[in-house]
Structures are given as structure tokens and as C-alpha cells.
Structure 1
Amino acid sequence: MRAEKRFDSLDSFRGLMAVSVMLYHLRVSDSFTEWLFFRHADVFVSFFFVLSGFVLTHAYGSSVQFNFRKFFITRTFRLLPLHLFMLVVFILLECGRYMAVQKGMEFNNVPFTGKFAPAEILPNALLLQSWTYLTNPLSFNYPSWSISIEYYTYMIFALILSVAFGVRVWVWATMVVVALALIYAGNTFFTIESLRGLAYFFTGCLTYAVYLKLPHPGRAKAWLLTVLEVLAVAAALVFVVNDFAAKALVASPLFAVIVLIFAFDGGAVSRLLAGRVFSFLGKLSYSIYLTHAAILFCVVSAFMVAAKLLGVDIAPMIDGTRYLDTGNVLFNNVIALLVMGLVVLVSMFTYRYVEMTGQALGRTLSKKTSHSSPVLRPDTD
């Protein structure tokens, strides 16, 4: 049954794109981090929203008796434990910066000011930082801006499932059209982050509705799915590396088509993505996404300290961005690979001891509710 299907290639996409976003934030001179693809990889956050809408609709959209309380508990304990853990980490890092400044160390900005101001802590703890112009969406753990949007979009999704009944698809479509129209019109009332999240997430919901209407191709059609998968990957590459005015609008239908094609898991590219390495990255994707900013901060800080001790500028500031640069192309690429490995290593720890612990607690609490709605496997979304 489709309701029991697990989308292996889409899970792997999640991991690959989390790594790509990490490399977008990592700047190492003359290394693969400077490839055009990674310099534009921030667009993959939009793919995360589409994929989340698709997977959650698969898990909950067909429930006859949708249990809002159970949904709220499982989703909260899926996202919040790691988010709060990393928020505490960033507060401790700011304390470390403050003590370093007292000893004569110089940073780009004064500790506990700007996006690290104490006033930003509570909005971050409540995942509200991306919903209001009064807060900085990139404060503290900057990748969590999308988690802020995703969490409350989940609740809007759950509310629609609870009350919309037979017209939920029309409600999703309306959400997408209105959000994209406001983005195109240069809206100033809603934050751009909230509009992007709503548009792309409910695009994913609509994509799943289309998926249910399509016949499932048999093995004889594997060649056709392979062709479509290759074309989808090629289209994604062209889309990512090019900048154009309507990119935010094109992302919605393009990522929807890509998700739809790979949802069938029937082509050669899907089989490749189902491999152990890619599946492993998919499992760690949430940890990779939320931990990498803190790890990059620590690595850059270490290079800055080393630069001061050695008298060699191995952490230059170029056009307002802090780079790592050993002065050797080979060494720079090795540094980039080592940082990637460090992020994955730390993510293995946070996945095991923070994510899984939080999810286990959520499952325990949710057992007090009815078991009428299907639940995603812990590492699905």
C-alpha cells in the first residue's frame, strides 16, 4: 500500500542537500566549496519545505480521524530538542567570545549584540524568529530560521487537516497561490521567510495529491523513470547555478516535479541514492543542518586564533566574508573535507543522543492518544 511506502531516494536527497547547504556556508579559498553549485546551494532550503509537505501529507493526509494532539507532540519532539540544544550551544559560544574579547581577541562584532543580542533568545526558543519583523531570523543558530517557519507551518497543516475535510486540496492550492503572489508582488506585511515556507510546503502537499492520482509504473517502465530522473537532476543543476528574477517562483513547480519523479523510486538514479552512504546522510540530515553553523564557527575561530599566534593570515576577510586559506590549493581542499567529516561526526552524536532521545520522549507522551493516525519513522522528516 502507498500509505506504507518509504521514499528512499527522497530521504537521501535530504542528506545531500543538508551537506550542500553546509558547504554553502563554508568558505575555503580555491577549494570545491567555491564551485558555482555550492555558491548557490542555499536554494535547497526551499526543496526541504516541498519535501516536508509531501512526506507529511503521505503520513497524515489520509487519516480518517486526524489526532491533532498526537501530531503536535510528535512534531514538537521531532524538531524542538535539537533546536534548543543548539541554541544553548550558541549561547555558550557567545560566552566564550565574550571571555576571549576580555583577553584581547577581536571578532567581527561585539559579543551579545546584533543577532546575538539577549533579546533574541526567547523568540528563538519559541521558534518565532522568522515570523516577525521585530526579530532577526538569522539570530543565533542561523539555519534554524527555516525550522521556525517549518514548525508553525506544520501546525497550520494540522489545522487544515482537522477542519477542511473534503476541500483541503483547494485550501493548499490557495495557500500556494497567495503566498507566491505576495512574493512576486514584493509583499511587506508578511516576512519573506514565512511566505517562502508556506508556498513551498503546501506545494509539497499538492504534489502528494498528484502522486496519488498517477499510476505506479511497473519494472518495465524503469528505463522511462531513469530518463526522467536524469532530466530532473540536469534541470535542478541548471536551475541552481543560474540567477534570475523569478527564481523563487520557479523553485515551487520545479522542486515539485523532482519530488514527484523520485517518489516512485523506480529509476537507476533512485537505486543509486538508495545506497548505504546516501541513506546514512539522509538519516543525519536534520543534525547536519542544525549543527553545522556552530561547528563552522568553532573552526573559523580556531583559524583566527592560529593566525594571530603564527602571524600568518589564514582566516582572511574577503568582501565581508571570513574565509579559510592555508595558501595551498591541496591543503585547502583537505581542510574542506575535514570540516565536512567533522560535521558528520558531530551529527552522529547529536542524532543518537539528542534527536533520538527527544523522539523517544515524544512517542512515550503520544501513546496516551489514539493510534488512528500513521506516524513517520523517526528519521523520515
Structure 2
Amino acid sequence: MASAENISRYRALDSWRGICACMVALFHFDVISHLSFLPLTRHAYLFVDFFFVLSGFVIASNYRSRLAEGFGTGRFLALRLGRIYPLHLVTLLLFIPIDAAKDGIGPNLLQAIVTNVLMLQGLGVNPQNWLNFRELEHQYRVLRLCDLRRRRKPDRVGDLALAAPDHGRTGRARHHQPRWDECDLRLCLVRCLYGFALGVVCFDLRERFPVLRARQAPSGETWLEAASLMLVVFYVSVAGSNVILQVASPLVFTLVVLVFAREAGGVSRWLTVPFMLMIGTLTYSIYMLHPFVRAVVRAILMVVERLAHMELFVSYALSPGHEPTKVVSMNGSLWLGDLLQIAMLLLTVLLSVATYRFVEEPGRNWVRRLADRRKAAAVRSAQPAFDT
């Protein structure tokens, strides 16, 4: 069993999480462009399910052995809260003036502030998704963390932990019936637990069966990874129009995770170049900040539209089965739309660098130091005192 100081780092999977975040951002930017009309982008909400599977695998790999060695569920919860809450609070503060300017300061906004501060905004208590458009965002619904180790005598069943990963998605619901790609609480929690649980199972299967870790020749691994990459592109492109394929997508993503956890092929080498690793590191910030970038850019374009008497918004349904909504149209030019989407994504990444450096890292480190001090104090208090 690996010690807490010797935990494997699945760098290629971290980069995949960054790719998922970027694809979800492109899906949410709502711009008439070549990119938006690509089936891969139109159905990119499925990368949320990919992210859930990835997070289940990565969190299980990071914490399973630690908890088995007495890491402590309370310490785990404290560290996870330190990981997600500082940036959650910052984005909340960014969205308050946006919603206040849009809808005014009233009881709905005040209620939304309270529920967001308490991280209860995903429970359906607000009349709509105020202050952001993500559901169940970054809420760690931790039941208990488990030890899934294989023992000599399988008579000890560890505790099971299911934690919702660092992300949520979808805009304000336009349909009363729940949809896989535009889910309310009834489906969002199901998607989260379903994908995350598959990620945990995926990690356990890899640990239990050495054949899943055994590497082939480099060329064979490269072909396997390339086939898995093409599978993701193809499946996401076609699954958006079929509910059965949507529901089955986490199973497909589980297979892809098993392939890239080996990190033995040419695609993995590309995924572990410094730029891709940086995108993986910025995953949480990208998820949290892209709605803010979207809101600010749309607000600026609305002002330009009024001042310049231009038509920069049209009513259109970018995703199949959705009702038309106001999307950005750069004077009808798809190429300008592409440039705008790319610029919005680059702006999101640049802002994410800043929030990671000045919000995520300091918050996480402060909580870790606090947890270490409390652990040290608990150890000292537990030691017996001897008369000298």
C-alpha cells in the first residue's frame, strides 16, 4: 500500500480534466460560430460526465490509502473545503454586482447570497440559478471515504465515500422535464454520483487486476490511446441526440480513463507537456470563471449593440432539442464568432492563472497548515504525561 507521501500522480488524467473544463466553457459561451456548430462542441455537456469519472478516479487514488492509514475523514473534509471554498466565495462576490445590475437588489438575490455562502444553492431552494448558472457546483456530498483494498480475508468492508467533484454545469433550465444535458436536482445529483462512483470502481479495478496496469509496446499503447481519443470525439459527437447514449457515456469514459491511467503512449506524452499540465492545474478555476467571462462579455456586447445600433444577439437554439435563446452573432460572421470564442477561452485561462496563484493556492495551503497544526496538537494531547 502506498504511503501518503508516495501517491501516484496521474498527470495525463489531470490534463484530461482541463480539456473537459475548456470544452464545457466553449459549450456555454453561446456564440454563432464554426466551433459552436461542431457536433463535438454542441454536445460538450457530456464532458461533465467525463469529468465526474475522472474526479472519482483521481480522488480515490489520492485519498484511499491515506484514509486506510488513519488520515481521518474530518481532515479530508477540511482539506476539500479549503480546496473549493475560497474560489467559490470569490466568484460569488464577482456575480453579486452582475445580478444586482440585471435584476435589482431584492429578496431573491439576498436569499441566493445566503444559500451560496452556505453552498446550498444546488438544493433547489432558490427560484432560479442566481449568482451563477452552475448546479450543485463544487459541493462535496461526502458520505464516508472508503478503503477498497483487497485483503487476505475479505471480511472487512471499508466505508464508501462518494464526493461530488470540483464542477457543475448548465444554464438556467428551459424545460420543466429533466434532461441529461440540462438537468435539475433530480438528475444532476444522479449524474454526479453515477459518474463519480464509476471513477472509484475504475480505480479499484485497476488496483485489483494487474493486466490493466501492464504496459504494451510503446507503439501499441499509442495506437490504443489514439483509438480512445477518437472514441471520445466520435461518441460525444453522436451521443447528444440519443438519451440512451447519453446515460451510457460514463461507461465509455471509464474505459478511456483506464487506458490513459497507464500513461504509456504518444497521446499521453502530448497530454503531459507543460502547457497541458498547466491547463489541468487550472481546471477548477476554468470551471468557476468561465461563467463570469461569459456574463461580462455579453454585457459589453449589449452595450456596444445599443450604442452602435448593431444586432449582436439573435434568437437561436445552438443545442438540439433546446428552445431558442439569445446567442451572440458577430454580424453574422462565423469566423468572427470563432475568434470571439477563442478569445473568451484565452481570457478565462489567463484569469484562471491569477485566481489559482492568488486564491486557490493560498486558501488550500492555509487550510492545510491549520489542519496540520490541529493534528499535531491532537497527537501531543494524546501522549501520556510522565513525572520527571
TM-score (norm 1): 0.80
Contact 2:53 2:250 in 1 (8 A): yes
Q: Among all aligned residue pairs of Structure 1 and Structure 2, give the percentage whose two residues are the same amino acid.
A: 27
* Pairing partner for 1:45 from 45, 48, 51: 48
Structure in which a larger fraction of residues adopt helix: 1
The residue that corresponds to 1:166 in the other structure is 156
Task: Indicate how the Cα distance of structure 1 residues 13 and 165 shifts in structure 2: closer, same or farther if over 3 A, else same.
Answer: farther
TM-superposed CA distance for 1:165, in Å, is: 9.1
Task: Indicate how the Cα distance of structure 1 residues 337 and 136 shifts in structure 2: closer, same or farther if over 3 A, else same.
Answer: same
Q: Within 5 A, what are the aligned runs for 1:97-176?
A: 97=102, 110-111=103-104, 117-130=109-122, 132-135=123-126, 138-143=129-134, 145-148=136-139, 151-152=140-141, 155-158=142-145, 160=146, 166-168=156-158
SS in 2 for 1:368: helix
**Cα deviations across residues 192-218 of structure 1 (Å, max 9, x unaligned)?**
111111111111111100111232324
The residue that corresponds to 2:310 in the other structure is 312
Q: Within 5 A, what are the aligned runs for 1:153-302?
A: 155-158=142-145, 160=146, 166-168=156-158, 191-215=186-210, 216-218=213-215, 220-242=216-238, 243-302=241-300
Give distance in 1, aligned partners of 2:69 and 2:116: 35
TM-superposed CA distance for 1:316, in Å, is: 2.9
SS in 2 for 1:61: helix
Give distance in 2, aligned partners of 1:7 and 1:257: 15
Matched, 1:18 2:21: yes
Contact 2:15 2:280 in 1 (8 A): yes
Aligned residue type for 2:205: V
Q: Within 5 A, what are the aligned runs for 1:65-80?
A: 65-80=70-85
TM-score (norm 2): 0.79
SS in 2 for 1:191: helix
Tell me how large the CA RMSD over aligned residues is. 2.9
TM-superposed CA distance for 1:112, in Å, is: 5.3
* Pairing partner for 2:64 from 61, 65, 71: 61
Give distance in 1, aligned partners of 2:275 and 2:244: 35
Give distance in 2, aligned partners of 1:147 and 1:165: 34
SS in 2 for 1:167: coil
**Cα deviations across residues 273-319 of structure 1 (Å, max 9, x unaligned)?**
11122111111111011001011100011011001000111233332
Structure 1: give runs of 5+ residues left out of the alignment: 98-109, 174-182, 372-381
Aligned residue type for 1:241: S
Larger mean Cα displacement after TM superposition, 329-338 or 39-48: 329-338
TM-superposed CA distance for 1:190, in Å, is: 6.8
**Cα deviations across residues 144-188 of structure 1 (Å, max 9, x unaligned)?**
53423xx12xx2243x459x993248x579xxxxxxxxx99xxx9
Contact 1:161 1:168 in 2 (8 A): yes
Task: Indicate how the Cα distance of structure 1 residues 284 and 17 shifts in structure 2: closer, same or farther if over 3 A, else same.
Answer: same
The number of residue pairs the alignment matches comes to 337
Contact 2:99 2:131 in 1 (8 A): no
The residue that corresponds to 2:173 in the other structure is none
The residue that corresponds to 2:31 in the other structure is 28
Contact 1:262 1:270 in 2 (8 A): yes
Structure 2: give runs of 5+ residues left out of the alignment: 149-153, 163-177, 317-323, 377-388
